[in-house]
Structure 1
Amino acid sequence: MASEAGESDLGDRIEALQRRLSRTWELLQGSTLDVRPFRPGEDGPLASFVVPEDETEVDRYWVNAPYAYVVITYDDAESEHRYYAVEPELDAFERELLDRVVDDIRDPLLYREGSGKTDEETLRTELETLLEGYGVEAEMDTFHALVYYLYRDFRGFGKVDPLLNDRHIEDVSCDGYDLPIFVYHDEYTDIETNVSFGQEALDSYVIRLAQQSGRHVSVGDPIVETTLPDGSRAELALGEEVTPRGSAFTIRQYAEDPFTPVDLVEYGTFSVEQMAYFWLCIEHNKSLIFAGGTASGKTTSMNAVSMFVPPRAKVLTIEDTRELSLYHDNWLSAVTRERRYEGTDIDMYDLLRSALRHRPEYIVVGEVRGEEAITLFQAMNTGHTTFSTMHADSIETVINRLENEPINVPRAMVQSLDMLSVQTLTRADDERVRRAKTIGEIGGIDQRTGELDYSSAFEWRRDSDTFRRNDSSLLEEIADERGWSRSELLREVRRRERFLELLSALGIDDYRTFTALVNEYYADADRVMEKLDERAAAADGVDPDEFAAEDASPGGGTDRGPDASDGDGARAGDAGSDATDR
């Protein structure tokens, strides 16, 4: 019996040795992969999701087809929505393989910088070479899943990448270690996600975000405000000293293409009449401040109305972090800088003083909150048209903040401001909406009381969700400047309203096309109006892409992604593409 057992054990050892020798020979020989594009149905799906028993699926859409999609569910017991980022599944072998590839692929990626290949092409080539060298006969779904994770982690935003690829998401917030990330969704508002970070992973991620944007964060200097490479604004905190629950970050996304005045009218933030009013005032060098609470859309509105600036006017923008985007030839953009290893800080005050030497006609400042406000109002008093934003919820609050610590603008200088637009993030019909609560006009100083006079040109009526128009002293000033009668003024306002209505009807909301058409209006208003009227009358099914291609440089409008309920769109899990959709 003992002899038989010994022979069996020896046989098993010999068989195991033979397998190892065979495997070694395969590795030495390598393998050949027949790499081809991903084929939906034949290779997939790469990612799958089972809705939890106590939840109901309410939405599903791609954020990076065919690799990642989002599922929104509703938990009846908790009476809340949940957000699931669904990515390709990896088994134990595939995860081990990914770890090895990550270790081996770093150096080749560094050496191939500037090779002319795209990041994805480089990753695909290196992955194919490594797998062949390992002797791994990988299936195509495994290969494409590995490509996804390599791209996500090397060139994307890691675990948060699906969230930042979701164009429905405005904010991504991580509050600490092992806590679920929350997002602000444009339809479902604040939702808890299935994404979280452990302590070591979160610390590393915050450091990585800072490094990606060229900034330094450390325990000694744990708070950083920065702009990520894709233009998103990020607030970072490292460690537990200032954020006791652990490292934290908040990323605020902005549309790849900025919103135009047409977009804001369609969303109901402003009426078409208000936009025509802004247009006339901006053309005639009236200064403007947008005020409101957090996420009320101040910067978005300021960027949108800046598209009304005449085409040849010199525009200078000044910001802490890059948010503004103009399609304007004569535009100089300036951003503050914190001192790193040498040199000096360059703050808003420094940039404003420098800006005046560039002789701009329009100065756009991201936000006023300190000593730079004095320089801004000095610029107004010397004939520069300025736009900016402030945190305030009423005209009275804006004036109070301007006149008191820490801003301290003298009242005699505040009266050089022409307009104030106060916005709010509120609810209408159980939906969160942004509305221009009031648009005010600043008059002079009352000689009897010494107080600043102001009036409301437009007011939002909450009960009917409409805007009421009042008399406007600014429009009367413009009519006097131009020598227009009241009927001529009203005719010009109405013509600009008609211009905006036609662009909306034709589906033209790309900011490049919009700006080009505004420039045409300045050159020959009658001709561009005639052209728009002809196109609107030609057919109901006008193709805005053809119109955009003919009238301006090409570019698409804001794309919100495929919708699961849209019969013409691709439902997540049912279709895909052969390239990473970035």
Structure 2
Amino acid sequence: MKPFGRRAEFASPSASAESVPADAVDALPERPATRAAPLSRLRTQVLDRVDPVVAAELPASVLRSQLEALVHELAGRDRLELSAREQARLAEELTHDMVGYGPLEPLLQDDSISDIMVNGPDRVFIEVRGKMRLSDVRFRDAAQVANIAQKMAAAVGRRVDESSPLLDCRLADGSRVNVVFPPLALDGPCLSIRKFSKKKIDFAAMVANGSMIPSVARVLEIAARCRLNIVVSGGTGSGKTTMMNALSRLIDHEERIVTIEDAAELQLQQPHVVRLETRPPNLEGKGEINQRDLMKNALRMRPDRIIVGEVRGAEAFDMLQAMNTGHDGSICTIHANTARDAVTRIENMVQMGSMSLPQRAIRTQIASAVDLIVQVERMRDGVRRVAQIADVCGLEGDVITMNDVFTYEFEGEDANGGLLGRYVSSRTRPGFSEKLRYFGLERAWMDAVQELPA
């Protein structure tokens, strides 16, 4: 076959490879020092025999088998004492470098891992079942971390470097990625990956996981079916997006839904969904489309429901306007520690975009727009639970009144460190009882609430 520069296609394994000094390429991670130089040299020789354009077009399984054959040939020619397992490992690492995301590829393929955090070449943390730990994954150096981050950015048409050191993007499977480059990151490029769950989580699965009890699940099902305006509140990694996905599964398939996100990660099952995603500014600092711009445009798209991945700024005002102008059943998430804090944060964000609005007018809008606040929390045993469900009742004077439909009360822990607790209910009539009656679900709501102790 015709060579490509110094490289040749896989079909010409007999092509000669130029020898490269051992120190030209960093050693593979966790290799004994006595074997680092030969492995480094072998790695370079393999790369010299591979055409990157051809490799990128091959399926990963085919590429790996051809790389294994090439590694075996070169190791035999140079009489390197490498076991079959070491040769297979080198071929796998090279495959991940060429058509994947390097050392991160095994972590991305592991469904038990929910978060991946790269603090440096030798500090890769993972979250498994709600618990954080240091993984044994290593990068060759900070340059490899940077290359992988730039590869992720390029896949969605974005860029990250020292002149544009912050990036939010998503992978092909929907996983959410945040990147921070030097000089903002003092110890080298940092990556935070929130993995996209391949499992379709519904309320039944959340009950089985211990995230809630059947009565709480029933109340949330009724809330979604009755087109209540719901705010899902919680801290980072508390399960807000999972809760939003579970709520969205109960939306009627005949409704037109518009979603607005910074990095698209919602998993809506309905056929009539329009997905909108923000756009960062270009190199000249122009062309940015933020969530508020998308929110304003969504109102012109004749949506039945609007779902905002995360409200974090002035778009809160437009979200309230949508909830108050016939778009019942809208859902959004917000970062807050309690349901009361969520109301305060919404108020503060509205003021960011509409400084002239008096406080009472903002609170009136919130009280009339928001029906239910669902507070989720990742607790110290690693389980993400519904900690509180609050009904926004109305306005008394200048104070927004709220009623706790359900509250999780901690009681202790079991022998394995799992938390023990119970849900209590106020059993009061909700402020949106007219909506429940309209959909014929008022009795079902009261039955679910009264199953628990007051």
Residues 1:367 and 1:85: Cα distance change in structure 2 (over 3 Å):
farther
Does the aligned pair in 1 maintain the 2:71–2:91 contact within 8 Å?
A: no
Corresponding residue for 1:454? 402
What is the alpha-carbon distance in structure 2 between the residues aligned to residue 478 and residue 253 of structure 1?
36
Q: Secondary structure at the match of 1:422?
A: strand
Q: How many residues align?
A: 401
* Match of residue 161, structure 1, among 74, 83, 105: 105
The answer as to 2:48 corresponding to 1:103 is yes
Residues 332 and 450 of structure 1: is their aligned pair in 2 closer, same or farther, counting only changes over 3 Å? same
Map of 1:121 onto structure 2: 62
Give the counterpart of 1:411 among 363, 366, 369: 363
Report the CA distance between 1:283 and its aligned residue: 1.5
Distance in 2, matches of 1:29 and 1:450, equals 78
Q: Which SS does the other structure have where 1:432 is aligned?
A: coil
Measure how far apart 1:451 and its partner are.
1.5
Instruction: Give the corresponding residue for 1:420.
Output: 373
- Of 186, 200, 204, which aligns to 1:262? 204
Aligned residue identity for 1:422: Q
Gaps of 5+ in 1: 1-27, 32-83, 498-582
Residue in structure 1 matching 2:184, options 233, 242, 257: 242
TM-aligned CA deviation for residue 319 of structure 1: 0.4
Report if aligned partners of 1:438, 1:460 keep a CA contact under 8 Å in 2. Answer: yes
Q: Does 1:469 align with 2:425?
A: yes
Bigger relative CO (Cα 8 Å, ≥ 6 apart): 1
Offset of 1:455 from its aligned partner? 0.7
1:188 shift after superposition: 4.4
Query: Structure 2 CA distance, aligned partners of 1:141 and 1:217?
Result: 36
Structure 1 residue corresponding to 2:151, chosen from 178, 194, 208: 208
Q: Are 1:30 and 1:134, in contact at CA under 8 Å, matched by a contact in 2?
A: no
2: CA distance between counterparts of 1:407 and 1:432?
36
Question: Cα distance, 1:273 vs. partner?
Answer: 1.5
Indicate yes or no: 2:301 matched with 1:358: yes
Q: Provide the alpha-carbon RMSD of the alignment.
A: 3.4
What is the DSSP-based 3-state SS (H/G/I as helix, E as strand, rest coil) of the residue aligned with 2:172?
A: coil
Post-superposition Cα deviations, 1:411-431, rounded to whole Å, max 9, x if no partner, equal 12101110001122223xxx2
CA pair 335-481 structure 1, distance change in 2 beyond 3 A: same
**1:120 partner letter:** S
Whole-angstrom CA distance in 2 between matches of 1:388 and 1:187: 23
Residue deviations 1:330-372 (CA, integer Å, cap 9, x gap): 1111111113358611111111111112211111101111111
Q: Distance in 1 between matches of 2:433 and 2:129?
A: 39
* Secondary structure of the structure 2 residue equivalent to 1:255: coil
Deviations 1:178-229 (A, max 9, x none): 5422222226433354525534333333333333443211212111122123
- Partner residue in 2 for 1:579: none
Match of 1:432 among 382, 385, 389: 382
Residue 119 of structure 1: how far off its partner (Å):
3.5
Q: Deviation string for 1:107-138 (max 9, x for gaps)?
A: 4526x73xxx6343255357657977999599
- Match of residue 400, structure 1, among 344, 355, 369: 344
**TM alignment of 1:6-85, pairs within 5 A:** 30=14
CA contact (8 A) 2:176 2:263 kept: yes
Q: Return the TM-score normalized by structure 1.
A: 0.62
Moved more, 383-392 or 201-210: 201-210
Distance 1:226 1:321 in 2: 6
One-letter amino acid of the structure 1 residue matched with residue 50 of structure 2? I
- CA–CA distance in structure 2, aligned partners of residues 244 and 368 of structure 1: 29
Change (3 A) 1:305 1:479: closer
Instruction: Supply the AA of the counterpart residue of 1:458.
Output: F
Query: Structure 2 CA distance, aligned partners of 1:277 and 1:426?
Result: 22
Counterparts of 2:226 and 2:440 in 1: how far apart (Å)? 13
Give the distance between the partners of 1:466 and 1:254, measured in 2 at CA. Answer: 30
Give 3-state SS (helix, strand or coil) of 2:330's partner: strand
Pair 1:169–1:130, CA change in 2 (3 A): closer
Match for residue 265 of structure 2? 323
Aligned CA distance change for structure 1 residues 195 and 306 (closer, same or farther; 3 Å): same
CA deviation string 1:39-71 (max 9, x = no partner): xxxxxxxxxxxxxxxxxxxxxxxxxxxxxxxxx
Q: Structure 1 CA distance, aligned partners of 2:164 and 2:205?
A: 40
SS in 2 for 1:268: coil
2:394 alignment partner in structure 1: 444
- Offset at residue 286 of structure 1 (A): 0.6
Deviation track 1:267-293 (CA, whole Å, cap 9, x = no partner) reads 222222122212222222110001111
Separation in structure 2 between the aligned mates of residue 419 and residue 411 of structure 1, nearest angstrom: 15
Alignment of 1:565-576 (within 5 A): none
Secondary structure of the equivalent of 1:349? helix
Conserved 8 A contact 2:118-2:125? yes
Q: Tell me, in whole angstroms, the C-alpha distance in 2 between the residues paired with 1:207 and 1:108.
A: 18
Give how far 1:478 is off.
3.8
Q: Identify if the C-alpha distance between structure 1 residues 328 and 468 changes in structure 2 by more than 3 Å, giving closer, same or farther.
A: same
| Alignment partner of 1:233 is 2:176 | yes
Larger radius of gyration: 1
- Give the TM-score, by structure 2 length: 0.78
How far is 1:29 from its partner?
10
Contiguous gaps of at least 5 residues in structure 2: 1-11, 16-28, 412-419
Paired letter, 2:313: G
Q: 1:466/1:489 Cα in 2 relative to 1: closer, same or farther (>3 Å)?
A: closer
Q: What is the identity percentage for the equivalent residue pairs of Structure 1 and Structure 2?
A: 25
Provide closer, same or farther for how the CA distance between residues 440 and 197 of structure 1 changes in structure 2, counting only shifts above 3 A: farther
